[in-house]
Amino acid sequence: MSQRVMTSTVDTMLDSATKPSDRVPDELWEKFLSHLVRDRGTLLAIAQGHGRGPDQAERLYWRNDLAAPGLLDTLDIMPDYVRQSLAHHIRHITMRFKPTGQRRVSPVLQFPQLRSITVMTTGVLHSEGYLHVEACVGRLLGPRLQYLDIGSDRWWPHDLLPSTDNFLPVLSTCLDLRELSVCARIGDASSQHLVAVLNSCKELKMLYLSSHTAPLIDPYALQALAEHRSIETLEIQKVIDLSLASTIMKIEQPFRHLLDLTLHATPDGASIVLPQLQRLKTLRLVISRSGSVFPAVGKVKTLQSFSFESASFPLTDHDLSYMKSLKHLESLQFHNGQQRRRQHQGFVKQDWADQLAQDLDRHAPKLHWIYSCLDEKDDMAQMAANAWWFSKDKREFRAFLERDGTPEEVIDRYVSEFTPVSDWEEAHMS
């Protein structure tokens, strides 16, 4: 429908809607307004009219208002008799942390239709010198909430300290909750509050808890996580050591439906947790102490993507040999902290990188993708990844020549002189 036709139709319907003797039927308004869900300006214009249609437009406007970080502020300044009627229709709320002590006390409203809440961080607060920021979440929670994201955009500096009220007791009544991300300290919350949420929210599929919530992860909370029957994606930034990991040893089929895991652990803690994960497809492993975890990684037979980060030990051929059992592994990411800190000469670094690439070819021949973590200082990991890609390009070049029927001695000569196109272009462009 063109803009001219749309405008004419709106004017005609508004004229009809303002005449009691010739009111447009509700079902016609509903059908017409369904085409304007994303047209915020037209909905607002209709809402400022009179009659049944504008009433429906106003409800639709508030129900589908997704982006407005100032939505609650707008609601706060409205007359008392309007606030709750509008809050009844709101399905999505986006808000921002505010400096501690500067948050206004808003009227208590009910949001029975609310599906999602997103609490965003902002660099403006930090640039103005604020280090402590807060958000009040508990007052917004409703029975139909499915998505709660508190600060997981992670754009703030490390010295910014976010916090919220203890919303967990109310959250445990949100039985339809599907996704929960918390990157803030939660008031006076305890592990019992977290356990109550896990026991009540049986439809929870994704859980992310940053290091701000680490005190909540004790043996009782970890046991509740392991016994949860719906969580598919999990990241808890609490280092799981031997004593904590031992909690799940007596659980039959812990983390039964887990597919994607980011695990911060000690080697002995990871060695207990990983062999229990028989459906895991994606693993991001952050190891905090020295020791090999590859014997345990090799037991996760279903693994397709593996990311490994350690600040204290290098990858060796013996470690990589355990990857032979990972028949489905397609991508690998690694970050080798100890090798980064060593002051190797350039040719020694390249020899190590070439050797690692050869080891990977031998132990994980089905890899389709390998890359290093995004750390410019980790030149060893980057060199190893580049060496692997160069080796992969050479193998594919050889296979192409073989399919083309090129004689073996010519293939050997071509491959020995092979340079990837990207490197050739970079050399000539410089």
- Give the CATH number, domain containing residue 211: 3.80.10.10
Closest CA to 201 of 223, 235, 177: 177
What values do phi and psi take at 308, rounded to 5? -130, 130
Choose the final residue of a domain: 64, 83, 113. Answer: 64
pLDDT confidence bin for 153, thresholds 50/70/90? low
Claim to verify: residue 110 and residue 233 sit in the same structural domain = yes
What percent of the chain is modeled with pLDDT above 90?
Answer: 32
- The answer on pLDDT for 82 being more than 60 is yes
Rounded-to-10 torsion of CA 321, 323, 325, 331: -160
With b for 16 or more beta-carbon neighbours within 10 A and e for fewer, the 79-94 pattern comes to eeeebeebbbbbbbbb
Termini Cα distance of the chain: 53
Residue pLDDT, tens place only, 320-378: 888 889 888 888 887 765 444 444 444 445 666 777 777 777 787 777 767 665 455 55
The residue type of 383 is M
Claim to verify: residue 54 and residue 121 sit in the same structural domain = no
Contacts 24+ apart (CB under 8 A), 75-80: 75/106, 75/109, 76/104, 76/106, 76/107, 80/107
Written as six digits, the tokens of 60 are: 């639709």
pLDDT score, position 264 = 95
Claim to verify: residue 371 and residue 252 sit in the same structural domain = yes
pLDDT score, position 320 = 84
pLDDT score, position 422 = 44
Contacts 24+ apart (CB under 8 A), 61-64: 62/86, 62/89, 62/90, 63/89, 63/90, 63/91, 63/113, 64/37, 64/38, 64/91, 64/92
Number of folded domains that form the chain: 2
Residue pLDDT, tens place only, 181-214: 999 999 999 999 999 999 999 999 999 999 899 9
Radius of gyration of the chain, Cα coordinates, nearest whole angstrom: 28
Choose the final residue of a domain: 32, 64, 96. Answer: 64
- The answer on pLDDT for 274 being more than 90 is yes
Among 102-111, 138-147, 357-366, which stretch is predicted with the lowest mean pLDDT?
Answer: 102-111
Closest CA to 297 of 288, 289, 308: 308
pLDDT score, position 40 = 53
Residue 221: domain span? 73-429
Claim to verify: residue 81 and residue 176 sit in the same structural domain = yes
Written as six digits, the tokens of 102 are: 């500067």
- The answer on pLDDT for 37 being more than 80 is no
Claim to verify: residue 36 and residue 79 sit in the same structural domain = no
Report how far residue 148's alpha carbon sits from residue 204's, in angstroms, rounded to the nearest whole number: 11
Let me know the angle formed at the C-alpha of 93 by 88 and 96, rounded to the nearest 5 degrees.
140
Claim to verify: residue 27 and residue 161 sit in the same structural domain = no
Written as six digits, the tokens of 369 are: 């993708």
Report how far residue 308's alpha carbon sits from residue 373's, in angstroms, rounded to the nearest whole number: 9
- The answer on pLDDT for 92 being more than 50 is yes
Claim to verify: residue 271 and residue 154 sit in the same structural domain = yes
- The partner residues of 99 in beta bridges, in order of sequence, read 133
Claim to verify: residue 46 and residue 164 sit in the same structural domain = no
For the ranges 74-83, 131-140, 141-150, 410-419, the maximum mean pLDDT occurs at 141-150
Claim to verify: residue 233 and residue 280 sit in the same structural domain = yes
pLDDT score, position 75 = 72
Residue pLDDT, tens place only, 7-29: 444 444 444 444 443 455 555 55
Residue pLDDT, tens place only, 284-330: 999 888 888 999 999 999 999 998 888 665 677 888 888 889 888 88
Claim to verify: residue 37 and residue 118 sit in the same structural domain = no
Report how far residue 71's alpha carbon sits from residue 120's, in angstroms, rounded to the nearest whole number: 13
Choose the final residue of a domain: 25, 45, 64. Answer: 64
pLDDT score, position 297 = 93
Residue pLDDT, tens place only, 67-79: 456 667 777 777 7
Closest CA to 240 of 256, 220, 219, 209: 219
Claim to verify: residue 19 and residue 154 sit in the same structural domain = no
Among 13-22, 35-44, 144-153, which stretch is predicted with the lowest mean pLDDT?
Answer: 13-22
Claim to verify: residue 58 and residue 180 sit in the same structural domain = no
Among 102-116, 139-153, 288-302, 394-408, which stretch is predicted with the lowest mean pLDDT?
Answer: 394-408
